[in-house]
Amino acid sequence: MATIYHNLSDYDINSVPDASNMRFGIVVSEWNSNITGALLQGAIATLKKHGAKEENMIVQTVPGSFELTYGSAQMIKSGKVDAVIALGCVVRGDTPHFDYVCAGATQGIAYLNATTDVPVIYGLITTNNMEQAEERSGGKLGNKGDECAITAIKMIDFVCRLKK
């Protein structure tokens, strides 16, 4: 469903498992830090709201969104996380650079999801302008960081249920 029809911060609180024993890695792009910082704040607040402990969260930055795949892969290799949340923001410019960065990051995260046992949550905002990014990072359309936190909790729970 398109974000314009769904607030990113709206969800059924009763559908979210307890996160108190879950471990989270969060990889955040430094590029467009005004946006990615707000996404990070949303993700952390939502994780805590559902019981996640601060000592069970590892937050690391990477220079840009293209590096989210590498950062996420290193989080997985550390063995210290049950899920990784990859947060970034790419705003369309005048050159095709936008297309390459978005495609590379998307394909990289999809590859990690297909080839590892740790879910990597796609928190890359790709917008036509900064206003759209602001709307999706705590503005009128909610915060993609909230949505990613809920997705991470649910995916860890999914994996745990399969192992029973």
Of 63, 97, 110, 111, the active-site residue reads 97
Residue 97 catalytic?
A: yes
User: In angstroms, rounded to a whole number, what is the distance separating the alpha carbons of residues 68 and 28?
Assistant: 7
The tokens of 93 are what?
């410019």
User: In angstroms, rounded to a whole number, what is the distance separating the alpha carbons of residues 21 and 81?
Assistant: 11
> How far lies 117's CA from each of 8, 17, 146, 156, in Å?
26, 20, 23, 10
User: In angstroms, rounded to a whole number, what is the distance separating the alpha carbons of residues 120 and 102?
Assistant: 16
Q: Which residues are catalytic?
A: 97
